[in-house]
Amino acid sequence: MAYDDNNVFAKILRGEMPCIKVYEDDKTFSFMDVMPQAEGHTLVIPKAPAVDLFDLDAQDYAALAKTTQKVAAAVKKAIGSPGIMIAQLNGADAGQTVFHFHNHIIPRWSGLEMKLHAREMADFGLLEEQAQKIRAAL
């Protein structure tokens, strides 16, 4: 599959679609998932155009891993979750719905079920409150 420059994450990177930003550096961008599976669900994407893991340059993957680790620590601290799940899906058959490589940072609590992936839009005011806590923990 060829990279589509009109996917939602590409539009977010170009400032054509709004997002609730958490973190940015020269290679990566992090923002709140608008259809979260748990409180504090955050996404980290490379700025490089890549459909999936197999399309991403190793140096960009390394930068993404570094940012994911940094943001995940802040999410864990800010949200107060005892665990963090990092999820990354490759291809529609694996559940990928946006074809721009991305990591999900999902806070986890034992016994608390996650919501289904990409099903229900969150309250943007609540997402902004969570993002403020995460940014403060960075």
What are the contacts of 133-136 at 24+ separation with CB within 8 A?
A: 133/78, 133/79, 134/22, 134/40, 134/42, 134/71, 134/74, 134/75, 134/78, 134/79, 135/22, 135/23, 135/74, 136/78
| CB-CB contact of 74 with 138 (8 Å) | yes
Of these residues, 41, 102, 104, 117, which one is catalytic? Answer: 102
Q: What domain count does the chain have?
A: 1
What is the domain-level CATH number for residue 119? 3.30.428.10
Note if 102 is an active site residue.
yes
13 in a structural domain: yes
Range of the domain at 78: 8-137
Is 2 among the domain residues? Answer: no
Q: Does residue 3 belong to any structural domain of this protein? A: no
Rounded CA gap, 2 and 50, in Å? Answer: 9
What confidence tens digit (pLDDT) does each residue in 95-105 have? 999 999 999 99
Q: Is the pTM of this model over 0.75?
A: yes
State both tokens at 38: 């748990």
Render pLDDT for 31-61 as a digit per residue (tens, 0 to 9): 999 999 999 999 999 999 999 999 999 999 9
Q: Which of 24, 47, 23, 44 is nearest to 33 (CA)?
A: 44
